[in-house]
Amino acid sequence: MTKRTCFPLAVLGWAASASATFAQRYRLIEVGTLSGHGNSFPFAINERGQVLGYSLPVTTAFVWTDGEFRVLPFLNPDDPSSIPSDLNNNGDAVGWSRALFQGHAVLWPAEGGIIDLDPPGANDSFANALNDDRLVVGFARNWRTFLWQDGKWTTFVDIGWRSMNNAGQMVGDAGLNAFFWDGVEAHQLPGLRPGQETSANKISPSGLIAGASNLTSDLAMPVIWENRRLIALGLLDSGGGGTTWGVNDAGEVVGVLSIPDGMYRTNVGVVWRHHVMHNLNDLLTDGASDAWTILNAREINSSGQIAAEAYSPSRNLNLAVRLDPIDEGMMIWSFAPNQPGATNMLEVIHATPGGRVVFVAGTARGEARAVPQCPGGRIELVNPQVIGTAFADADGRATLDRFIPTGLAGKRFVVQAIDWTTCQSSPPGFIQIQP
């Protein structure tokens, strides 16, 4: 039986369906860097798990496929420099490559070679995104925004489009505002604060949009837009902002947040599922968290694979990695429906079937402390309070219903669960109550 009572926290996000894929942890697979190069950085991942990135110090674009690199050729081998931007599901990539004294938009077909997309008379351009039909959107001097397909250029709505799906929908920015192209016209996307900047970075196949909306001139909140409705996703620390870079149709969102690091701040890669946010470094398997620090999560595909940037202290390098989802480990899974002034449900998965689960909430993440009467359990919360208990069903799900007062709108909490049978503690889940 599940115990259902009330507690003063809001619950946000999508409710997890019975058919949801439970991928709680990640196995880190090193993409690495090209031979003779140093740092590498990821840009995209497609449905085949291929990763698009580039290596330094000679800026060289590549497509990585399960351990094999395809080096993307330069327009001018005598002056080598290329930066990629997007990868489609066929393995075609687009970006920029230096040609003489200017940079040109380019297409790297999956079958090999390079195609110069610089529009006639432009002499300075960049290709931002493409879809599986090799429809490319870019930006060029004189031409400004353009579309390219099958060797033909056309001018387009003058917005800095960053992402395109196979339906031809696009998202991007103009000035301080994020925009969505629905295939017919451009729509400005709403922000959290009037007059503050919004940015749209990625659109999923079905039209979910990932980006950010500024709370102040120097503090950005990661957000998504669903049917052009803004949903705030929350911050790890009130002193640092972030953005979302990728989103799939399951509503899994990835991005980067800024966190305190002594006198400075550092970046950390994060994932949101059903509006519960997790630091990706808490979710690595096989001891990878001892050897790597996930700094940035760039994109996620429909299988839940993530292209990320990670730091290797042993080599003092930032390297591209792929994070493959593993179905294991108890986790705060969903917080729904995110409606202050209503009853909301907090859900845990992968608990001991039939076992008792204790839910604990705090105001922030803190130092790990032992759980009284449960050896091995650890709670990492500031001002922890037990907010209820529930019993897991035969599938290991435990849910807790709580009424959320309207006065908690816009607040943030950190939640953990303790499996009282095994004394296993879930990683902290960050919950942003909707404004």
The predicted pLDDT at position 48 comes to 98
The predicted pLDDT at position 239 comes to 67
The mean pLDDT value for 12-19 works out to 30
The predicted pLDDT at position 253 comes to 97
In the block, residue with structure tokens 């909707």 = 434
The predicted pLDDT at position 238 comes to 57
The DSSP bridge pattern shows strands 364-370 and 82-87 to be unpaired
Locate 246 and state its tokens.
Answer: 């990728």
Give the closest residue to 44 by CA, choosing from 110, 94, 108.
94
The mean pLDDT value for 122-145 works out to 95
The predicted pLDDT at position 21 comes to 42
- Percent of the chain residues topping a pLDDT of 90: 83
Confidence band, pLDDT 50/70/90 cuts, at residue 428: very high
Is the pLDDT at 351 greater than 50? The verdict is yes
Confidence band, pLDDT 50/70/90 cuts, at residue 339: confident
Average pLDDT, the chain: 91
Is the pLDDT at 19 greater than 80? The verdict is no
The mean pLDDT value for 374-403 works out to 95
The predicted pLDDT at position 4 comes to 34
Contact 235, 222 (CB under 8 A): yes
Is the pLDDT at 31 greater than 60? The verdict is yes
The predicted pLDDT at position 11 comes to 28
The mean pLDDT value for 144-166 works out to 97
Burial of residue 423, with CB atoms counted within 10 A of its CB: 0-12 exposed, 13-18 middle, 19 or more buried:
middle
Locate 20 and state its tokens.
Answer: 């949801």
The mean pLDDT value for 123-139 works out to 97
Give the closest residue to 13 by CA, choosing from 344, 409, 410, 311.
344
- Which residue ranges form the domains of the chain, and what is each CATH number? 25-71+157-326 (2.120.10), 331-432 (2.60.40)
Contact 230, 191 (CB under 8 A): yes
Q: Mark 301-324 as b/e (b = at least 16 C-beta within 10 Å).
A: bebbbbbbbbbbeeeebbbbbbbb
The predicted pLDDT at position 261 comes to 74
Q: What is the pLDDT of residues 219-265, one digit of tens each?
A: 999 999 999 999 999 887 656 899 999 999 999 999 999 987 777 78
Confidence band, pLDDT 50/70/90 cuts, at residue 5: very low
Confidence band, pLDDT 50/70/90 cuts, at residue 376: confident
| Cross-strand pairs, 30 | 321
Three-class SS string for the chain? CCCCCCCCCCCCCCCCCCCCCCCCEEEEEEEECCCCCCCEEEEEECCCCCEEEEECCCCEEEEEECCEEEECCCCCCCCCCEEEEEECCCCCEEEEEEECCEEEEEEECCCCCCEECCCCCCCCEEEEEECCCCCEEEEECCCEEEEEECCEEEECCCCEEEEECCCCCEEEEECCEEEEECCCCEEECCCCCCCCCEEEEEECCCCCEEEEEEEECCEEEEEEEECCEEEECCCCCCCCCEEEEEECCCCCEEEEEEEEECCEEEEEEEEEECCEEEEHHHCECCCHHHCCEEEEEEEECCCCCEEEEEEECCCCEEEEEEEEEECCCCEEEEEECCCCCEEEEEEEECCCCCCEEEEEEECEEEEEEECCCCCCCEEEEECCEEEEEEECCCCCCEEEEEEECHHHCCCEEEEEEEECCCCEECCCEEEECCC
Q: What is the pLDDT of residues 41-82, one digit of tens each?
A: 999 999 999 999 999 999 999 999 999 999 999 999 999 999
The mean pLDDT value for 351-365 works out to 96
The mean pLDDT value for 308-328 works out to 96
Residue 193 is given by DSSP the state: S
Contact 142, 102 (CB under 8 A): no
Locate 315 and state its tokens.
Answer: 């080599």
DSSP string, 156-177: --SSEEEEE-TTS-EEEEETTE
- Percent of the chain residues topping a pLDDT of 70: 94
pTM given for the model: 0.92
